[in-house]
Amino acid sequence: MATLLAVLALTAGTGGWLLTDRDSAPAAEHRATRPTVTVEQGALRQSIQLTGTLGYGSPRTVTGTGDGIVTWLPSAGVTVARGRQLYRVDDAPVVLFYGDLPLYRELAEPAPPEKPADDAPPPPPAQPQHGNDVDLVARNLAELGFYDGATEDATYSGSLVSAVRAWQSAQDEEPTGVLGPGNVLVSTGAVRVDSLTAQVGDPAATAVLSVTTTARVLTLDLAETDTTDVVPGRKVRVTLGDGTVVRTKVQHVGKPTPSDDGRPATVPVLVRPTRVGSLAGAESGPVTAVLVTAARHDVRYVPVTALLALAGGGYALERPDGTLVPVEIGMVADGEVEVDGIEAGASVVVAQ
């Protein structure tokens, strides 16, 4: 019988082999007691084990403006939608509007021109304000049911100012028709209060609170050295804290974040469930995940401990009767190795 060596371990990724002698001429009675396995046929997958968090994404700090005093704050964890107050300053609400830019100036109806002196020509009338901020106010008041005029190229006058006054009255506020950065916080959608920074009685022009989106967010921590095979659309199987398995796909790969303790940098990977509602009712907290980096389908495979490295080169499997079957090897994953040259279902010897 050919001289051979038994493979004890195969390290995926390095291709390293740890070999030991296997008896090349076992006694017949010894053969009958040696453990065997069946050559399987199916899929092999190389994967990375990850940890992560189910939460609401990165919080955003809300900083107030003006000279007022904070007089009311919400509780952490509450959700605030369009038209609802986020906090109060001088007992007046700071209300949430939806949009892509903040209010950056005070909006007010044009003041009437002053009466000219005797025999002087009248001054030209003041022009109403217009711009993206005016359109934002018009769109939000239209969605709240206070305005039915133009929401593009709108002017801050006439029906729009009347709508602002009506909305202010509905808020139990003085209907001045004036609106500024201290009255409205703009966000792309509803927000969830993450934490409070200020206290009642603090100046308004300070960091008041932090908010997040209301959508659940799954973020995984990936070692920077493992990012090569991670691209948007790749499938990831996530296990939540209660054991529920959620199938997701990579949505976004972030930038490396250096570690404070000298460990390798990690990269945040945002994944999204493939089925709507998969995260409904799930508690925030740590999660684990399996990211498949490579796969081979419909292949034959055996445990790496079944492989024999022949002294003359190459590899073989041993049948229970001692016959050696030369094989070609392929992918290695989770202690299994792809083999070609032997039929599926065959029994082969494994190292004890």
Domain range list for the chain? 4-46+295-349, 49-56+217-294, 60-115+127-213
- As a whole number, mean pLDDT of residues 260-285 equals 88
3-state secondary structure of 171: coil
**What pLDDT score was predicted for residue 327?**
97
32-61: average pLDDT = 91
Query: What does the alpha-carbon distance between residue 146 and residue 83 come to, in Å, rounded to a whole number?
Result: 11
Exposure b/e, 252-275, CB count within 10 A at least 16 = b? ebeeeeeeeeeeeebbbbbbbbee
d(CA 12, CA 22): 22
pLDDT value at 328 more than 50: yes
Average pLDDT, the chain: 88
For residue 265, pLDDT beyond 90: no
Average pLDDT value for residue range 305-309: 95
Phi-psi region of 2 (alpha: psi -120 to 50; beta: other; left: phi over 0): beta
Torsion of CA 53, 55, 58, 59, to 10 degrees: -140
What is the share, in percent, of the chain residues with pLDDT greater than 90? Answer: 71
Cα separation of 318 and 285, whole Å? 49
**32 confidence band (pLDDT: 50, 70, 90):** low
pLDDT of 239 higher than 90: yes
Superfamily of domain 49-56+217-294: Efflux pump adaptor protein, beta barrel domain (2.40.30.170)
CATH for the stretch 4-46+295-349: 2.40.420
Whole-number pLDDT of residue 29: 53
pTM over the 0.75 mark: no
CB contact at 8 A, 84 and 74:
no
What values do phi and psi take at 73, rounded to 5?
-135, 150
- Provide the pLDDT for residue 4: 43
Question: Per-residue pLDDT for 94 more than 70?
Answer: yes
